[in-house]
Amino acid sequence: MAEKFSLKDQLFNLQKTRYLAGLFASATSDFDAAGFEASVMARLLDLELKDRINWIAEQLAVYVPGPLSQVAPVIVAALPPPLDPSLRDDDFGDFIFAPLGEWVTALTTQEADLPLALDTLEALTQRFSMEFALRPLLKRWPDPVLSRMMQWTDHDHYHVRRLASEGSRPRLPWGLAVNLPLEAPLPILDRLHRDPARFVTRSVANHLNDIAKKEPQIVIDRLTDWQGQGMQAQKELDWITAHALRGLVKAGDPRALRLLGYDPDLELTARLQLPASVRIGDKLALGADVQGVRGARVLVDYALTFQRAGGKTATKVFKWKTGSLGADGLSLQKSHPLKAQASTFTLLPGAHRVTLLVNGVPRAEGEVELLA
C-alpha cells in the first residue's frame, strides 16, 4: 500500500530546516546553523503543521535573540529574492518562511514596534503570504495597521497588494478573528478591485463573499458601484462579481441573481427526471428540461436533501449549468456520485428529495430512494 501523503512533512522537514539555517548563517556570522537544525529537528516531526510553524519560530528566537529592532534587519538580510513579480496568480511562495512572520508578531509588543514590524512583514510577504502573522497586529492596533494596508494597495509587488485585502478579511479560514467593522476595509477593496493580478482580485472577491454572509446589501451596493465606475476590465469585474456572490447565489438571494443577470421572476416551465431508486455507491442520474423565452439567461442548480441520523435532514445546493434558453429551451443531464464513504457525512438509506432551482427559485422537485 502506498504511503499516505503528508502535507506537514512536505512543507516542514529536514531539508527545509537546513535551507532556512543556511539563509540565516549567510546573514549573520553569529548564527549557529548546526545547533538550530538539531534543535528544530529534535521535535519537529512529532508536531502537527501549525505547531511546526510555531516551534521553528521559537527556535529562531533562541538562535537570533534580541528585540525586534535587532532581529528585523537580520531577517531581511536572510531573505532570498522576492517571488517573481511578473506572475499573476497561485504563487504562494515557500511555507518555510511562515515561522518568520510568527516570530515578528511575537516580538511586536508595543505600538512603537509597529512600523518596523509592518516593514518586515511587507518584505516577508514577497516570499510567503503573511496574512496570518498580520492579523494579531491588526486586531491590537487597527487604525495604524489599516493605514499601512491602504498604502500597500499601491505597492509594486502584487503579493503586498493582496496582503491588504487578505489580511483584513472578516472570516479568513484558519485566521485569527479581528472583529473589524465590515465597512472598515472597504476603501482598500475600492482600490484593489481594479488590480491586474488575479491573485489580488480573487482575494477581493473572497473578502466580499465573507461580508455577504452577514451584510449582503453592502456587497451588492459595492459591486454595483464598481460596475458603474468602469475601472476594471469588464470580463474580470464579471468574474469578481460572480465569485463574490457565490454564497448568495447558492442561497437564492434575488439581489445577487439580478446583479448577475439572472431574473428570479422569469416566466418558465421546468421538469425534473429522476429514477425511482439508486444504490449508495452508484451515481444518481438527473435530467432537466427548462422552457421559456428564447435568449433568457438561466442559472440552473439542484438541491439534495439528505437523510441524517435521528430523523434530521440536511440540504446542499450543487451547481449544474449557466446559459441561455434556445428555441427548444434547455435540456440537461448529469450524474451525481453517491459516495458510500463521503468525507463530509455518511449517506443513509431512505427517501431523498431533489429540487431543481432555476435562477434561485425552486421550479420542480421529486424523491429518490437511496438503497443500501
pLDDT digits (tens, 9 = 90+) for 66-109: 999 999 999 999 999 999 988 878 788 999 999 999 999 999 99
C-alpha cell at 345: 457525512
DSSP structural state of residue 109:
-
pLDDT on residue 6: 86
Half-sphere exposure of 71 (CA within 13 A, CB side): 23
pLDDT on residue 89: 80
Task: List the strands of the sheet with 350-358, edge to edge.
Answer: 277-279, 361-371, 350-358, 297-307, 313-324
DSSP structural state of residue 319:
E
Q: Are 256 and 208 in contact (CB under 8 A)?
A: no
pLDDT on residue 2: 45
- Please list, in sequence order, all residues whose beta carbon lies within 8 angstroms of the beta carbon of residue 62, skipping any fewer than 6 positions away: 39
pLDDT on residue 230: 93
178 vs 184: CA distance, rounded Å: 11
Residue 200: CB atoms within 10 A of its CB come to 25
Beta bridge partners of 287: 273, 333
Q: Which residues of the chain have pLDDT under 50?
A: 1-2
The letter for the amino acid at 54 is N
Q: Are 161 and 155 in contact (CB under 8 A)?
A: yes
Domains observed in the chain: 66-259 (1.25.40.290), 268-371 (2.60.40.10)
Give residue-wise pLDDT tens across range 156-202: 999 999 999 999 999 999 899 999 999 999 999 999 999 999 999 99
The letter for the amino acid at 53 is I
Helices in 42-89 by DSSP H: which ranges? 49-63, 68-78
